[in-house]
């Protein structure tokens, strides 16, 4: 027994895990969707593991501060991070002197939320479809603006990809967050926006803005009658906003497996499922740590390329 | 008559004992975190969110709203007693409130702040009930060019904020503007003045600067007064405002409420401007502007009414458009979304219980706050008789905890210490911190809106003069500038503001 414990110290430690409270770092300010889902997940995880799970906000540098903090924490399974598309796919290319490797410095445990973006236009824009929008943009060269929550956000990059694929010209107008961008979209000062589904939904349902397409390969259950961009002729257009739980790179396998299983169970449980759905999230297709790592790797490539081509940077 | 019907629905919802209880818990918590320097409503509401998931949406929103405006009340308490603005809205309250406390008039200052806030809260609640949807349309009329012109007007008007030399005031405003642009440029994503320190890439937090410049600097300054510092607070004359005080404040309260209610509906930083604006206005129209900054009760009444009115009317864009005006509103939207309710244009029709229940509970919450706060004044004033050698270390500890809790980062505490020392140097040089704070708040907003307006107009500077609202503010700013520049009036201004006899 003793020999076994000496031979596999990681395993021996893992058997006792968790013996003290866990920290789940949300690399953004309180109240945002990443923070909210961390706070939703924490109680469920706490119940499953029998140890308190404390959500800790470490905002700064587009989420990089919090993610970097966890990348350099002890890999003992007690410090986790809600890593997101920004911290693990977009920022590594967006920021110069990036402090960590989003793939090699982490164990990717479980994808928790995947939210589509939706292409919404102001009601005064005459287009009723994506094709109509493209011809509207072509008829008004240099006059069309698209808003986004920030430079380098998924909304911005979706717009840049749209421009590339359709060979159209639009001007990007960045805001500080989705809310002020929505205000200018409602008022008609900007023409369109690739907004997060959850924040766009109320105004779509109230008829204040018009949804033309979603950015995912499959239609979303929330807007069943709205086509995908892929269906609308932009073949292969597939962007989602996502985030999930990750740990430092050398976290033992046993801990990763256990966490993955418990988080999977938690997000499948009807109560949490309902709450996450209310945020516009569908059940993620990525279900295992190995799939998640492959997913992060793929996303990192796609967005790295997009950021480079869009010329966006933060350095 | 529909409005009465709606209010009736609201009061039926809000008057149930559970909802009264949640409103009460909310305002108590809010007052508490408002009084504790640095621990703001954002962190508190974030921590409480998981609890609200198990409440009904109405109860959750009533409690969170209670925390929000409770914090506005509580924030003014520390501003008046120990010169620490816990919230952006109470910075201005420090100017005259703390001076009143030093003169032994902390009681009247606190009472006037509470009563003014209550009055403003009642009026603003009525405004929401009567005119929320049309006002939301007004808010949408404010685009980048309108915001920019409004802020130009604000900055020009702010030169009267200082009661020292005009040159120094302008220098402090400019320094504030420069400090405000530290961080990531919104348009290009380029990092500015960050010296490769990742913590600076989102800029410096407002609360950190304000607590350093006011609170820490004040403590350092007090250490100088070896003999006097133990006694300056003990000569408390009377707890409640005199008849004369009340006669002086009703005008400022009315004007503050009006200005605050209007600015509050603008989601892009309007509420922030409310207290600064109200103070400036009072000083401008006062027959005796020299007494501002030296314990003028009007200088407490106007900004306190304005910030509370603004705090309430800032619910309008959230409830009617789903657009949060500040971080607290964003949290409330988050809480509602998790409950399956997406705040937006339909909430009013689809969930009248929620909408009107919240409005009714705002009024009830304000009443609770006044009932809660007036008897507490005696206790707060007693706090000032605690010997300074015990009081200031505990204040420093609370400030450090509060600042650390903003983003769980010790770096922020160092920044506060830095601004404490810097603030002390400014006091020595007779440079006022308030213009710096105003520049710090307005600078980034102005730049952001200027550049956005330029983007949208394809670089046409005349856009600021083509839109009627924007043009109006520009003309008003120009008139104000001329007034300041005119020699005759300038002389008058100098008499009133420069190098007042000490």
Interface test with B, best of A54, A123, A149, A180 (most B CBs within 10 A): A180
Q: Is A73 on the interface with B (CB under 8 A)?
A: no
pLDDT in the model for residue A152:
86
Domain count within chain B: 1
Q: Which of A195-204, B50-59, B185-194, B231-240 has the lowest mean pLDDT?
A: B231-240
pLDDT in the model for residue A7:
47
State which residue of chain B sits closest to A42, comparing Cα positions: B50
Token pair listed for A162? 């749209």
Contacts of B45 in chain A (CB under 8 A): 30-31
- The per-residue pLDDT for range B401-427, each reduced to its tens digit, is 888 887 788 999 999 999 999 999 998
3-state secondary structure B172-191: HHHHHHHHHCCEECCCCCCE
Task: Return the percent helix, strand and coil in chain B, to nearest 5.
Answer: 75, 0, 20
Kindly report the length of chain B.
502
Reply yes or no on whether the pLDDT at B267 is more than 60: yes
pLDDT in the model for residue B485:
66
Beta pairing class for A22-26 and A171-174: unpaired
Selection from A35-44, A278-287, A303-312 with the highest mean pLDDT: A35-44
Q: What percent of chain B has a predicted confidence (pLDDT) above 70?
A: 91
Give the three-class secondary structure for A262: helix
A37 min Cα distance to partner chain B (Å): 9
Residue B224 burial by Cβ neighbours in a 10 Å radius (0-12, 13-18, 19+):
exposed
Task: State whether A189 and B187 contact (CB < 8 Å).
Answer: no
Residue B27 contacts residue B74 (beta carbons within 8 Å): no
Buried b / exposed e across B434-472, counting CB within 10 Å, b at 16+? bbbbbbbbbbbbbbbbbbbbbbbeeeeeebbeebebbee
Alpha helices by DSSP H, B225-351: 243-264, 270-285, 298-313, 315-321, 327-338, 347-350
Q: Region A105-109: what's the mean pLDDT? A: 97
- Whole-angstrom Cα distance, residue B278 to residue B258? 9
- The sign of the CA dihedral B330, B334, B339, B341 is positive
State which residue of chain B sits closest to A197, comparing Cα positions: B342
If pLDDT is split at 50, 70 and 90, which confidence band does B16 have? very high
Q: Region B260-281: what's the mean pLDDT? A: 83
- Enclosing domain of residue B480: 2-501
Alpha helices by DSSP H, B323-409: 327-338, 347-350, 352-383, 388-407
pTM of the predicted structure, to 2 decimals? 0.84
pLDDT in the model for residue B489:
53
| Sequence-ordered list of residues with C-beta below 8 angstroms from that of B476, at least 6 positions apart, any chain | B153
ipTM: 0.83
B35 min Cα distance to partner chain A (Å): 21
If pLDDT is split at 50, 70 and 90, which confidence band does A48 have? very high
| Average pLDDT score, chain A | 89
């Amino acid at each position: 027994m003793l020999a076994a414990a000496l031979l596999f110290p990681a395993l021996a430690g893992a058997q006792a895990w968790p013996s003290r409270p866990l920290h789940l770092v949300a690399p953004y300010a309180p109240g945002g969707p990443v923070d909210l889902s961390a706070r939703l997940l924490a109680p469920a995880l706490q119940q499953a593991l029998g140890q308190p799970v404390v959500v800790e906000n470490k905002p700064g540098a587009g989420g990089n501060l919090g993610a970097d903090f966890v990348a350099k924490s002890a890999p003992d399974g007690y410090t986790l991070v809600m890593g997101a598309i920004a911290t693990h796919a977009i920022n590594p290319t967006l920021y110069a002197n990036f402090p960590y490797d989003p793939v090699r410095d982490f164990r990717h445990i479980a994808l928790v939320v995947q939210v589509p973006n939706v292409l919404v236009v102001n009601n005064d824009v005459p287009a009723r479809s994506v094709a109509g929008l493209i011809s509207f943009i072509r008829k008004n060269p240099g006059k069309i603006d698209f808003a986004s929550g920030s430079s380098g956000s998924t909304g911005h990059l979706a717009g840049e990809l749209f421009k590339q694929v359709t060979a159209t010209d639009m001007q990007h107008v960045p805001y500080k967050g989705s809310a002020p961008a929505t205000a200018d979209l409602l008022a008609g000062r900007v023409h369109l926006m690739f907004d997060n589904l959850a924040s766009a939904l109320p105004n779509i349902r109230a008829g204040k803005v018009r949804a033309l397409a979603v950015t995912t390969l499959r239609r979303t259950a929330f807007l069943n009658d709205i086509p995908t961009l892929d269906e609308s002729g932009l073949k292969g257009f597939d962007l989602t906003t996502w985030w999930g739980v990750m740990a430092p790179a050398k976290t033992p396998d046993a801990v990763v497996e256990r966490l993955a299983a418990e988080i999977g169970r938690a997000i499948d449980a009807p109560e949490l499922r309902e709450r996450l759905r209310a945020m516009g999230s569908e059940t993620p297709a990525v279900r295992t740590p190995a799939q998640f790592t492959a997913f992060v790797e793929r996303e990192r490539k796609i967005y790295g390329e997009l950021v480079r081509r869009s010329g966006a940077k933060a350095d | 008559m529909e409005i009465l019907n709606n209010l009736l629905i609201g009061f039926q919802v809000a008057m149930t004992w559970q909802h009264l209880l949640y409103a009460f818990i909310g305002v108590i918590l809010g007052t508490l975190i408002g009084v504790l320097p640095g621990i703001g409503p954002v962190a508190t509401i974030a921590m409480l969110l998981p609890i609200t998931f198990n409440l009904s949406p109405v109860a959750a929103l009533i409690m969170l709203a209670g925390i929000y405006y409770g914090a506005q009340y509580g924030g003014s308490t520390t501003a008046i007693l120990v010169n620490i603005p816990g919230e952006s809205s109470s910075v201005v309250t420090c100017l005259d409130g703390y001076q009143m406390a030093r003169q032994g008039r902390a009681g009247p200052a606190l009472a006037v702040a509470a009563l003014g806030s209550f009055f403003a809260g009642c009026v603003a609640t009525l405004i929401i009930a009567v005119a929320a949807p049309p006002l939301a349309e007004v808010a949408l009329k404010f685009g980048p060019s309108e915001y920019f012109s409004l802020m130009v007007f604000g900055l020009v008007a702010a030169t009267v904020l200082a009661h020292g030399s005009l040159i120094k005031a302008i220098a402090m405003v400019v320094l504030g503007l420069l400090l405000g642009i530290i961080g990531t440029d919104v348009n290009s994503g380029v990092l500015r003045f960050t010296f490769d320190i990742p913590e600076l890439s989102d800029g410096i937090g407002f609360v950190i600067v304000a607590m350093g410049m006011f609170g820490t600097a004040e403590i350092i300054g007090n250490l100088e007064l070896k003999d006097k510092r133990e006694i300056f607070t003990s000569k408390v004359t009377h707890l409640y405002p005199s008849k004369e005080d009340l006669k002086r404040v009703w005008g400022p309260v009315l004007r503050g409420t009006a200005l605050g209610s209007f600015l509050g509906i603008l989601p892009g930083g309007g509420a922030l401007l409310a207290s600064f604006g109200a103070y400036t206005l009072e000083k401008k129209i006062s027959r005796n502007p020299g007494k501002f900054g030296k314990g003028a009760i009007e200088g407490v009444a106007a900004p306190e009414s304005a910030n509370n009115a603004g705090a309430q009317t800032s619910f309008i864009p959230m409830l009617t458009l789903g657009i949060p005006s500040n971080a607290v509103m964003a949290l409330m939207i988050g809480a509602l979304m998790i409950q399956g309710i997406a705040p937006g244009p339909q909430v009013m029709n689809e969930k009248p219980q929620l909408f009107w229940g919240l409005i009714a509970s705002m009024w009830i919450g304000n009443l609770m706050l006044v009932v809660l706060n007036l008897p507490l004044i005696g206790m707060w004033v007693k706090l000032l008789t605690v010997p300074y050698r015990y009081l200031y270390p505990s204040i420093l500890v609370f400030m450090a905890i509060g600042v650390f809790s903003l983003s769980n980062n010790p770096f922020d505490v160092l920044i506060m210490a830095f601004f404490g020392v810097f603030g002390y140097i400014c006091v020595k040089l007779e440079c006022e911190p308030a213009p710096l704070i105003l520049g710090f708040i307005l600078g980034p907003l102005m730049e952001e809106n200027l550049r956005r307006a330029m983007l949208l107009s394809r670089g046409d500077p005349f856009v600021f003069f083509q839109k009627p609202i924007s043009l109006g503010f520009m003309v008003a700013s120009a008139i104000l500038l001329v007034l300041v520049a005119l020699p005759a009036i300038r002389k008058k201004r100098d008499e009133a503001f420069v190098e007042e006899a000490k």
